[in-house]
Structures are given as structure tokens and as C-alpha cells.
């Protein structure tokens, strides 16, 4: 029975990995997303995909991991960014994950599970028959052997997919003219982690992934022979990566850890950036603003430094003071939707009705460019409510609840919106669409119970 429990636990884990992002925190940041776009674009094109259809998504998780979970989306843990020394290492990870996307491995993942499940079910049937015939020990042996075979079948299937993604990733790096040095360096980091965890290095039979040493031995020869082996990373891209890495550390880590790694005598861009977030998280707005001003003294037209200053002012209860830097950041980024949503929030937070028309315009533009931002929809709903337009406020709330996967509230708000909107109008039709989809989700949830 212990083998059965192990196999059942594995299949439960497999089921959970199909949609892991739903249970984890997605971190959205304009600067980080722009960096990911530029780091990944040549690799996406090399993989034969359209960059407009592929998303690189940051997950707030300290573990060193990346994965795909259906569609054309690559999820990267914040811990992986923190562990990477340079942009090239992350590009190696992205190339590998794109190998899973192009290989359809998430879809084919279920094939491996089905094969293993088939073996398990057969062993259960044969084992039960043996027990019924009075051969109890033989029956339990069949159970155990069948479950072990199922586990081995699945693990072998998974290792083949990982090896395939490794080779595909190497091909994409080569076609994009990007060195494989970072990929090898990152695998060596994983190998060192295996050493620290005392993972046996003689056989990968009982693992979902090949041992890092096995992967290094296969890939090293491929990479070193590639014309791109000696290619260097664009210095501007590397500079941006180091900025984002420090910014992420300031945002994710405990302030004490950030301030330990970036003490106040350090005056680099990365140090000021990380400390600004650490002080802001610690509720020291004056110190956070001093760090933001230090950044702007070096690069006064940097939209992300302006965004940072506006965010600190807004979240410190000074929305009116936040308007100028945020308005300038929106202008410099050509209405980047995440920054625009923050600017719209600041306009709303002033509670000055003369700002509401501008807030509505800004927020409408933000959701038209990026409708997957529940915060922007919420702010737009606040504006509609302030204007007395309750049906559209309800529709905006419904949009936000859809993104938060809250089907009951999405349904309730969509139905209320339909009662006050002109029947057949675009907004009424959108509310109807949300209501239909939310009702289906609600019914499915009821059936699961």
C-alpha cells in the first residue's frame, strides 16, 4: 500500500502542476515585463513563434524554478531571477521552456499520466483477482510491481520531455545568436544544489528530470561547437537585468535582508533601487523618496524611476504630489498600461472631481491595451460609481472578478449591469458574455462538490 500511496501522491502533484499559476502570486511590473520581452523576443522568433502570442510571466516564489502550464506562456519564479548572475542565464532558461511550448509537452503530459494510470489500473485488477483466489501475498506483489512500473513509466516519459526541451533550447539559442554559456552556468548551479541536497548522482531513474550532470555533459559539446558560444550579451540589456534583479529583491525580500545586501554606503543604481523598495515596505517614506530622488538625479527622464517616486508618494498618502511624476512616466512610456493604471489610481485618490474625467480616459486606455489588470478595472469602476453610472461600475467590477476567478461575484455584477444597460449595446453584450461564462463556472464548481 505504501507504493500505492506514493503513486497517488505523484498523480495528485501532477494534477496540481497543470495550473500552478492559479495558486501562486503573479508579479506585474512594467520595467520587468519590458525586459522579459526584449530578452525573449529573438528566442521566440527562433522557435518559430510570434512574440505577440507568447507571455513571459513572473511568479512570486523564492524557489529556483520555471515552467509552462498550457498555451504559450512561460512562468519564471522570482527565486530564479535572484539566483541568476546575468541575463544570459535567464535566456537559457527561457529557451528551454520554449522547447516545452513548441513540443506541446503540457498537452502530451497527460499521455504519460494515462499510460502510467493504465498500468496501475491493470495491476489493481490482477492483484484483486489474485487476492480473491486466495493468493494474498501474490496479489500484493502484483499491486506493488504494477505501481512501481507505472511510476517508472511516468518518470521516463518526463525525462524524455526534459531532454527534448534541452536540445530544442540549444537550437533556439544558436539561431538567435545567443551564447549557451549562461545555460551551462545555470545547470551547474542546479548541480551544486543537488550536491548540497545529497542527491545521488549515479542514476536519474527515479527522477522527473535528468541529473544536471547528465544534461551538462550532453549540452556542453553542443554549445561549445556553436558559432554563438563566444557571443556577448548586449551591455544595455545586462544593465537592465541587474536593475530589475535589484528592484525585485527590494520588492520580494524582507527589508532587513535587502538593507544587509545593499547597505547605505553603496551608491550604485541597483543599491538605490533595492533600498527604495525596502524603505517603502518598512514605512519610511522619506528615506524611500530620498533613494528615488537619488536615482532621478542620475537619470531624470527614466520613466521607471518616475513611476517609483509616484508610487511612493501615492502609497504614502500624497496622491496630488504623485501626479506629476506619474503623468510624465505615462508620457515617456507611450501610455504603458500598468503605469497608466497607477496614474489613474492617483487621479482617483485625490478625490478631486476635476481629475475624474482624466482618470476615466487614462483607465479606459489602460484596459484597452491590457484588459488583464483587475486593479485597473477596479479603479475604472470607482470612477463610474463616482459619476453615478452604476451599471458600468458593475460591469467594470464584473471584469475584475473574472480576472480574479471569482465566478459568483462576476455573475452577480454582470447580471446587475445588464439590468441598467441599453439592451443590445456593446456594454450589455459584454455583460451578457461574462454572465454566461460565469454561470457555467458556478455550475461546474457546484458539480465538483
Taking only the tens place, the pLDDT of each residue in 215-264 is 887 788 889 999 999 999 999 999 999 999 999 999 999 999 999 999 99
Q: Taking residues 186-199, report their average pLDDT.
A: 72
Q: What angle do CA 419, 422, 425 make, to 5 degrees?
A: 120
What's the whole-model pTM score? 0.80
pLDDT digits (tens, 9 = 90+) for 306-342: 999 999 999 999 999 999 999 999 999 999 999 999 9
Straight-line distance from the first to the last Cα atom of the chain, in angstroms, rounded to the nearest whole number: 27
Q: How far is 444 from 431, CA to CA, in rounded Å?
A: 20
d(CA 134, CA 238): 69
| pLDDT of res. 198 | 56
Amino acid at each position: 500500500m505504501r507504493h500505492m500511496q506514493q503513486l497517488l501522491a505523484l498523480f495528485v502533484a501532477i494534477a496540481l502542476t497543470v495550473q500552478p499559476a492559479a495558486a501562486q502570486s503573479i508579479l506585474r511590473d512594467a520595467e520587468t515585463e519590458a525586459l522579459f520581452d526584449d530578452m525573449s523576443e529573438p528566442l521566440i522568433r527562433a522557435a518559430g513563434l510570434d512574440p505577440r502570442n507568447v507571455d513571459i510571466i513572473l511568479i512570486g516564489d523564492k524557489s529556483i524554478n520555471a515552467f509552462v502550464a498550457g498555451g504559450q506562456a512561460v512562468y519564471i519564479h522570482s527565486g530564479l531571477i535572484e539566483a541568476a548572475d546575468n541575463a544570459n542565464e535567464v535566456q537559457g532558461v527561457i529557451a528551454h521552456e520554449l522547447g516545452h511550448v513548441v513540443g506541446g509537452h503540457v498537452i502530451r503530459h497527460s499521455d504519460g499520466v494515462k499510460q502510467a494510470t493504465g498500468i496501475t489500473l491493470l495491476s489493481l485488477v490482477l492483484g484483486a483477482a489474485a487476492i480473491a483466489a486466495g493468493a494474498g501475498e501474490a496479489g500484493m506483489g502484483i499491486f506493488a510491481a504494477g505501481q512501481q512500473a507505472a511510476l517508472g513509466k511516468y518518470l521516463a516519459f518526463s525525462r524524455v520531455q526534459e531532454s527534448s526541451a534541452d536540445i530544442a533550447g540549444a537550437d533556439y539559442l544558436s539561431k538567435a545568436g545567443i551564447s549557451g554559456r549562461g545555460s551551462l552556468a545555470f545547470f551547474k548551479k542546479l548541480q551544486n544544489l543537488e550536491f548540497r541536497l545529497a542527491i545521488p548522482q549515479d542514476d536519474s531513474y527515479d527522477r522527473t528530470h535528468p541529473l544536471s550532470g547528465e544534461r551538462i555533459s550532453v549540452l556542453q559539446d553542443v554549445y561549445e561547437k556553436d558559432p554563438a558560444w563566444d557571443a556577448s550579451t548586449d551591455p544595455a540589456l545586462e544593465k537592465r537585468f541587474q536593475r530589475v534583479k535589484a528592484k525585485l529583491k527590494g520588492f520580494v525580500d524582507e527589508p532587513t535582508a535587502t538593507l544587509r545586501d545593499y547597505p547605505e554606503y553603496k551608491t550604485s543604481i541597483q543599491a538605490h533601487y533595492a533600498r527604495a523598495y525596502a524603505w517603502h515596505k518598512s514605512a519610511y517614506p522619506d528615506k524611500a523618496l530620498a533613494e528615488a530622488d537619488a536615482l532621478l538625479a542620475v537619470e531624470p527622464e527614466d520613466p521607471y524611476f518616475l513611476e517609483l517616486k509616484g508610487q511612493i508618494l501615492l502609497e504614502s498618502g500624497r496622491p496630488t504630489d504623485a501626479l506629476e511624476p506619474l503623468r510624465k512616466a505615462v508620457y515617456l512610456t507611450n501610455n504603458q498600461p500598468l503605469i497608466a493604471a497607477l496614474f489613474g489610481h492617483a487621479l482617483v485618490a485625490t478625490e478631486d472631481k476635476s481629475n475624474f474625467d482624466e482618470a476615466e480616459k487614462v483607465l479606459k486606455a489602460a484596459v484597452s491595451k491590457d484588459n488583464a489588470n483587475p486593479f485597473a478595472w477596479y479603479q475604472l469602476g470607482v470612477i463610474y460609481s463616482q459619476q453615478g453610472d452604476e451599471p458600468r461600475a458593475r460591469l467594470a467590477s464584473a471584469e475584475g472578478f473574472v480576472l480574479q476567478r471569482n465566478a459568483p461575484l462576476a455573475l452577480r455584477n454582470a447580471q446587475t449591469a445588464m439590468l441598467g444597460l441599453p439592451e443590445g449595446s456593446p456594454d450589455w453584450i459584454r455583460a451578457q458574455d461574462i454572465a454566461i461564462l460565469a454561470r457555467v463556472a458556478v455550475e461546474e464548481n457546484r458539480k465538483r462538490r
